[in-house]
Amino acid sequence: MPSRTRQGVASASREIVGCLVKLAGSMETVSEQRVTMDEITALAKRRGFIFQSSEIYGGINGFWDYGPLGAVLKRNVKNAWWRDTVELRDDVVAFDSSIIMHPLTWKASGHIDAFHDRMVDCKVCKHRFRFDHLKDASKCPDCGSKDALTPPRNFNLMMKTFIGPMDDTASIAYLRPETAQGIFVNFKNVFQAARKKPPFGIAQIGKSFRNEITPGNFTFRTREFEQAELEYFVPDDGKDIELFQAWVARRKAWYASYGINAERLRFYELTPQERPHYAKAGIDVEYLFPWGWGELESIAHRGTYDLDAHMELSGKDLRFFDEVSKAHYTPLLIECSAGMDRTTLTFLIDAYEREKSVDPNGKETERTVLRFHPFIAPVQVAVFSLARNKPELVERARSIETGLRTSFRTQYDEGNIGQLYRRQDEIGTPFCVTVDYDTLTDGTVTVRQRDSMQQERIAASALDTYLRAASEPSTGR
């Protein structure tokens, strides 16, 4: 569990206050807003990125469904993380643990104890407070509203479920509130099976569930979400801070290489007061959303806290045996924990632009464009036939599209080219290829680039090479 959450709910009000301070600091930038959440949610629904879950029944708060384009977008974001964190390294191995784990896992992790406080909510500002921390129960400590606090309620962040089909004998279990614990309890299995020794990492991407009291801001705060977590175990040999910094730099480079605007991203260093007592360092990666700064990822140096907690409760030895010193030791932990739904939302918001331009007839037009990196874009190449009713054009365009399909995510369409460009701009397709009458005689097609709107004529046979080069192959597919 990432740093600030692991301190338990006790820190909730301080986090809220901290968040407001940060928000105030960013008000100036927020007021020069490029895009509103209404624009993003409308586009997401219209083009099939994200839908409200169970919409036909009125929806269910805190849950979302990814449509045809959104499902691909999110998969691309996860693949980009996985590629950089696992595939491009020889010191990180893959993992995939179950969502439901032995309930004692959550005792050791602190979730069961930390998330059983009595809480009140302010009905006006929606902030949440520990009941026993309130000086005056008739007034909201944040917005000052009178009599706006709900009665205290037992608060349990974890979602309960039951194992066993018979109500009276079923045992209580929890849907995991984070993926990390699956890695910790398997630490020994993994390092033995993979023959790894610290420094090495274990990574997984998977669903987590939290009973958030106030889900909101679209997919930013939900009750079911996906996390990508890297747990990197290092020896206690004085190089741990250096390794922590190397991971911070790597994550920074990751956001930059996929085009997230550096001015809208910050790496907020937690003060010792903001960190749990056992943590040696902590960074919150934050993005400037239309409503202010919000956390995308937490990078933490967590010492031996997590493995110690499981060793103590399970009575099992999870330490590593060092062949050189012939001694057992508990490695230190560096954790990078990123929310994949928040990161997907970030890519969507960051890519969004409304742009004024002048069409070939000198008329002013406006277009909505998503400037996705080619690796992230759900569709990479759209192939059009200039006319719908000319079988020879349709056939040629379809065959070009099929040929490109093995290397790129493609889409075929036909009809009014201006409208087709507009539609592809709005879903962030970097390249459009048009097949016209000249294609039938000289074998060339028009390639139009999304960002510059430049068009050029190239041989259809050279498309694959051309598109690969133009897609910045350094980040791969």
Q: Which residues make up the interface to ligand ATP (CB under 6 A)?
A: 1-2, 4-5, 210, 212, 221-222, 225, 227, 295-298, 337-339, 341-342
- Please list, in sequence order, all residues whose beta carbon lies within 8 angstroms of the beta carbon of residue 238, skipping any fewer than 6 positions away: none
The full length of the chain comes to: 477
DSSP annotation of 430 reads S
Which one, 1 or 420, has the nearer CB to ligand ATP? 1
3-state SS, residue 434: strand
Shortest distance, position 62 Cβ to ligand ATP, whole Å: 8
Instruction: Supply the minimum distance, in Å, between the C-beta of residue 87 and ligand ATP.
Output: 22
Residue whose pair of structure tokens reads 């919409």 in the numeric block? 55
Which residue's beta carbon is nearest to the bound ligand ATP? 339
Minimal distance, residue 72 CB to ligand ATP, in Å: 20
Taking the least distance from each CB to ligand ATP, the nearer of 128 and 373 is 128
Residue closer to ligand ATP (CB basis): 339 or 374? 339
Q: Which residues are CB-contacts of 30 (< 8 A; sequence separation ≥ 6)?
A: 23, 288, 290, 291, 292
Indicate the residue among 212 and 464 with the shorter CB distance to ligand ATP. Answer: 212
Name the residue nearer to ligand ATP (CB basis): 347 or 384.
347
C-beta of 152: minimal distance to ligand ATP in Å? Answer: 21
- Minimum CB distance to ligand ATP smaller for 39 or for 212: 212
Q: Is 133 left (phi over 0), alpha (psi -120 to 50) or beta?
A: alpha
Tokens of 398: 């379809």
For ligand ATP, the closer of residues 224 and 436 by Cβ is 224
Residue with smaller CB distance to ligand ATP, 198 or 215: 215
Among 436, 381, 437, which Cα is nearest to 412's? 381
User: How far apart are CB 226 and ligand ATP at their closest, in Å?
Assistant: 8
CA dist., res. 128 & res. 12, Å (int): 7
Q: What are the distances in angstroms from CA 288 to CA 143, 228, 293? A: 23, 21, 4
Residue type, position 22, single letter: K
Shortest reach from residue 11's CB to ligand ATP, in Å: 10
- Residue pair 140/124 in contact by the 8 Å Cβ criterion: yes
Whether 280 and 371 have beta carbons less than 8 Å apart is answered as no
Q: Report, in Å, the least distance between residue 37 CB and ligand ATP.
A: 15
Nearest residue to 208 (alpha-carbon basis) of 307, 97, 109, 304: 97
Which one, of 373, 355, 354, lies nearest residue 428 by Cα? 373
Helices (H), 258-338: 305-314
Supply the minimum distance, in Å, between the C-beta of residue 165 and ligand ATP: 30
Least separation in angstroms between CB 128 and ligand ATP: 11
Please identify, using beta-carbon distances, which residue of 212 and 308 lies nearer to ligand ATP.
Answer: 212
Residue 156 phi/psi, 5-degree rounding, is: -130, 110
Q: Is the Cβ of residue 16 or residue 243 nearer to ligand ATP in the bound state?
A: 16
Long-range pairs of 305-309 with CB within 8 A, sequence gap ≥ 24: 305/276, 305/278, 305/279, 305/333, 306/109, 306/180, 306/181, 306/184, 306/333, 307/184, 307/187, 307/331, 307/333, 309/108, 309/109, 309/110
Nearest-approach distance from CB 94 to ligand ATP, in angstroms? 19
CB of 241 closer than 8 Å to CB of 280: yes
